[in-house]
A and B are shown apart, each in its own frame.
Chain A
Amino acid sequence: MARDDDSIIKVRGLKKSFGTHVVHEGLDLDVRRGEIIGIVGGSGTGKSVLLQQIVGLLKPDAGRIEVFGESVRDTSPDEYRRLRRRWGVMFQDGALFSSLTVRQNVEAPMREQLHLPDDLRETLAGIKVRMVGLPENAQDKYPSELSGGMRKRAGFARAIALDPEIVFLDEPTAGLDPIGAAAFDRLIGQLQSALGLTVFMVTHDLDSLHAICDRVAVLAEKRVLAVGTMAEMLKIDHPWVREYFHGPRARAALGPDATDEVG
């Protein structure tokens, strides 16, 4: 298991409820520096809520969340701002600012956090837009003029605008066609190794899990039920986990051998 010092994100005893509806209780999770971790779980098990708590958009009821060894909850606004610069978040469907062009969207965090000359900022934003594989003519388009896949790429470009150490991705390949999703997986993998990113990825896409995730964390019963590599997941004996990793879709994604050897 991870030594404490190489976990970049550390969640301990997290509790979160909305009214009487308890979403997380006693949730622990470690994310190691430089890995791609995939978070899976049924719809409504609180994957997005977990992500939002880690990045400080939601306040946990109890528990500790440390990112870069600092508690996200107990920071002063100034420290939080410094901390926030070191991660990037990509929301489901990109959450781009619809009144800004793609490049302006990528410039937005730079404009907010740094004082750069205009032309330098535009150049750097342009590089990020190209890096995520958007064509040159997409730079000055508005989000509504892009396809869903392009919007996701643009959202990813905005998430990596400030060269973060961690990127949080909420269902990055949901709603993409299989080719687009595979391309997006490759893109995440490439940029992860080029920029040395740690990637925290909520996903339902078994192909992504298989193709790029170093480890998988399963969210069920209000906590992280299991963490490990795909191979380890296949050996876990829990109804939901079995159903998930041994179902017909899993078989298709992983190939029959992978599921049969334990099944």
Chain B
Amino acid sequence: MTVSDGTLAFSGDLGIDSVAGLPHDLGDASRIDISDVGHLDTAGAWFVLDCKRRLRRQDEIPVEGASWAQRQILDAVSQNMPPEDSPPPQRAGLAERIERFGRATVGFARIAVELTGFLGQVVATMGGIVMHPRRLRITSLVHHMQDTGLNAVPIVVLMSFLIGVVLAFQGAAQLRQFGAEVFVVDLIAIAVLRELGILLTAIIVAGRSGSAFTAAIGSMKMREEVDAMRTLGLDPIAILVVPRVLALMLMLPVLGFLADVAGLLGGAMMAWIELGVSPAVFQSRLVANTDVWHFLVGIIKAPFFALIVGVIGCYEGLKVGGNADSLGRLTSTSVVVAIFMVIVVDAIFSIFFAIVGV
């Protein structure tokens, strides 16, 4: 690329590989000559036309020496040049970031409102089913009970057992310093029965079944199956959502109970190995010292957690749009939001039970 006698002359190949390296300083030219250019592609054509634009004077600057093929490319590109006054695409500035933050906050509030509305719809549909039990899809309900309940038993039991083991082990290490080893039974009983058993079960179920709900309903939504149902007069909430939510509400207390048992067994085993608290001692202390309310407090929470996980899973599924991306994004949103809400509601329950004093 040289300028002489008011002519900006290019030579060699002018293509996407070479334009980035060309100088931006054009000097002062009144003609552009590309007769020595070998291969010219759209990037090269853009560069020539951009030079022409930057050299703009009173009159058009001619581009000379283009072969027929090069002329075609120049014409095609010149009709599609970026608008001249458009500022280069901007990186996000501070104001924009703040704006985005604001939008996200409002969006979050909107989701909360919509979710509440959806919860109302689901509860109303369930109410309708209570009035007319024959509307309940039994097959579907049983299928989902097996899927979300029975099939989750191994993982829930294993995890809870390990939590019991860990609690006993860590608790023992601390309690031994005070010579209060035997209180490990109370520690395990209260922690597992009241909080951990049901909370961790709910979290596992959110990850396991909540995400599955979103993915299953979401892919139906993507293939327009949900719309098809609506046009056939079938209610997607009654058919897709209620059996899933109901199955979870029935099965989560059962899973929670199994988790409690497994957690206690794990704790008892570790207490025996580590502290020499025999199973008989563990059992008698458990029965004597642990109020049955600890267990009830845990189990009472189960259907509520199930409702949260199920409703959020289905809601996010029904929100899936036309693309695979939204399916993936909403599946992970569903799990995150469900776990978050479960923990929030658990905190609210803690306060509530503290106030009523159980």
- Tell whether A and B belong to one assembly: yes
Instruction: List A residues at the B interface (Cβ < 8 Å).
Output: 98-99, 110, 114-117, 119-120, 122-124, 126-128, 130-131, 136, 142-144, 162-163, 190-191, 193-196
Give the docked Cα–Cα distance between A130 and B78 (Å): 11
Q: A191-B76, A194-B73 are in contact. Are A124 and B325 (CB under 8 A)?
A: no
Shortest Cβ distance from A21 into chain B, in angstroms? 27
The one of B15, B69, B81 in contact with A127, judged by C-beta atoms closer than 8 angstroms, is: B81
Q: A114-B17, A127-B77, A194-B73 are in contact. Are A163 and B323 (CB under 8 A)?
A: no
Q: A163-B16, A194-B73 are in contact. Are A124 and B42 (CB under 8 A)?
A: yes
Give the docked Cα–Cα distance between A130 and B15 (Å): 19
The one of A115, A120, A136, A144 in contact with B322, judged by C-beta atoms closer than 8 angstroms, is: A144
Q: A116-B20, A119-B88, A163-B42 are in contact. Are A131 and B80 (CB under 8 A)?
A: yes
Q: A124's closest neighbor in chain B, by CB?
A: B43
The one of A128, A144, A196 in contact with B323, judged by C-beta atoms closer than 8 angstroms, is: A144
Shortest Cβ distance from B64 into chain A, in angstroms? 20
The one of A119, A124, A143, A195 in contact with B46, judged by C-beta atoms closer than 8 angstroms, is: A124
Instruction: Answer yes or no: B23 CB below 8 A from chain A CBs.
Output: no
Q: A127-B80, A195-B73 are in contact. Are A163 and B325 (CB under 8 A)?
A: no
Q: How large is the interface on B (under 10, 10 to 19, 20 to 34, 35 or more residues)?
A: 20 to 34
Chain B residues whose C-beta falls within 8 Å of the C-beta of A98 in the assembled complex:
323-326
Shortest Cβ distance from A153 into chain B, in angstroms? 13
Taking a contact as CB atoms under 8 Å apart, the answer to whether B89 and A163 are in contact is no
Give the docked Cα–Cα distance between A124 and B19 (Å): 11
Shortest Cβ distance from B69 into chain A, in angstroms? 6
The one of A114, A115, A194, A196 in contact with B75, judged by C-beta atoms closer than 8 angstroms, is: A194
Within 8 A of A (CB), among B117-169: none
Taking a contact as CB atoms under 8 Å apart, the answer to whether A131 and B76 are in contact is yes
The one of A122, A142, A143, A163 in contact with B43, judged by C-beta atoms closer than 8 angstroms, is: A163
Give the docked Cα–Cα distance between A99 and B20 (Å): 28
Given pairs A127-B46, A163-B41, A196-B69, 11 additional interface contacts (CB within 8 A): A110-B16, A116-B16, A120-B19, A123-B82, A130-B79, A144-B325, A162-B16, A163-B43, A190-B76, A191-B76, A194-B73
Chain A residues whose C-beta falls within 8 Å of the C-beta of B179 in the assembled complex:
none
A-contact 0/1 string along B84-107, CB 8 Å cutoff = 000011000000000000000000
Give the docked Cα–Cα distance between A1 and B346 (Å): 79
A sample of 27 inter-chain contacts (CB < 8 A) reads A110-B16, A114-B16, A114-B17, A116-B16, A116-B20, A117-B20, A123-B46, A123-B82, A124-B46, A126-B82, A127-B46, A127-B81, A127-B82, A128-B42, A130-B80, A131-B76, A131-B77, A131-B80, A144-B322, A163-B43, A190-B76, A193-B72, A194-B76, A195-B41, A195-B76, A196-B69, A196-B72
Shortest Cβ distance from B17 into chain A, in angstroms? 7
Give the docked Cα–Cα distance between A242 and B130 (Å): 64
Q: A97's closest neighbor in chain B, by CB?
A: B325
Give the docked Cα–Cα distance between A128 and B19 (Å): 16
Interface of A is mostly: helix
Shortest Cβ distance from A188 into chain B, in angstroms? 13
Give the docked Cα–Cα distance between A259 and B89 (Å): 54
Give the docked Cα–Cα distance between A114 and B43 (Å): 12
Taking a contact as CB atoms under 8 Å apart, the answer to whether A122 and B16 are in contact is no
Give the docked Cα–Cα distance between A253 and B322 (Å): 33
Chain A residues whose C-beta falls within 8 Å of the C-beta of B323 in the assembled complex:
98, 142-144
Taking a contact as CB atoms under 8 Å apart, the answer to whether B42 and A195 are in contact is yes
Chain A residues whose C-beta falls within 8 Å of the C-beta of B80 in the assembled complex:
127, 130-131
Chain B residues whose C-beta falls within 8 Å of the C-beta of A117 in the assembled complex:
20
Taking a contact as CB atoms under 8 Å apart, the answer to whether B83 and A122 are in contact is no
Give the docked Cα–Cα distance between A126 and B50 (Å): 14
Chain A residues whose C-beta falls within 8 Å of the C-beta of B324 in the assembled complex:
98
Q: A143's closest neighbor in chain B, by CB?
A: B323
Give the docked Cα–Cα distance between A19 and B198 (Å): 50
4 smallest CB-CB distances across A and B, nearest first, come from A130-B80, A194-B76, A163-B41, A98-B323
Q: A163's closest neighbor in chain B, by CB?
A: B41
Chain B residues whose C-beta falls within 8 Å of the C-beta of A123 in the assembled complex:
46, 82
Chain B residues whose C-beta falls within 8 Å of the C-beta of A130 in the assembled complex:
79-80
Shortest Cβ distance from B197 into chain A, in angstroms? 39
Chain A residues whose C-beta falls within 8 Å of the C-beta of B81 in the assembled complex:
127
Shortest Cβ distance from A145 into chain B, in angstroms? 9
Q: A191-B76, A194-B75, A195-B76 are in contact. Are A144 and B326 (CB under 8 A)?
A: yes
Chain B residues whose C-beta falls within 8 Å of the C-beta of A196 in the assembled complex:
69, 72
Q: B324's closest neighbor in chain A, by CB?
A: A98
Taking a contact as CB atoms under 8 Å apart, the answer to whether B72 and A194 are in contact is yes
Chain A residues whose C-beta falls within 8 Å of the C-beta of B79 in the assembled complex:
130
Give the docked Cα–Cα distance between A120 and B88 (Å): 10
Shortest Cβ distance from A8 into chain B, in angstroms? 16
Instruction: Answer yes or no: B236 CB below 8 A from chain A CBs.
Output: no
Give the docked Cα–Cα distance between A36 and B158 (Å): 63
Within 8 A of A (CB), among B7-60: 15-17, 19-20, 41-43, 46
Q: B76's closest neighbor in chain A, by CB?
A: A194
Q: B88's closest neighbor in chain A, by CB?
A: A119
The one of B42, B88, B321 in contact with A144, judged by C-beta atoms closer than 8 angstroms, is: B321
Give the docked Cα–Cα distance between A117 and B89 (Å): 13
Shortest Cβ distance from B15 into chain A, in angstroms? 7
Chain B residues whose C-beta falls within 8 Å of the C-beta of A194 in the assembled complex:
72-73, 75-76
Among A124, A142, A144, A193, the most chain B Cβ lie within 10 Å of the Cβ of: A124
Within 8 A of A (CB), among B164-187: none
Taking a contact as CB atoms under 8 Å apart, the answer to whether A163 and B20 are in contact is no
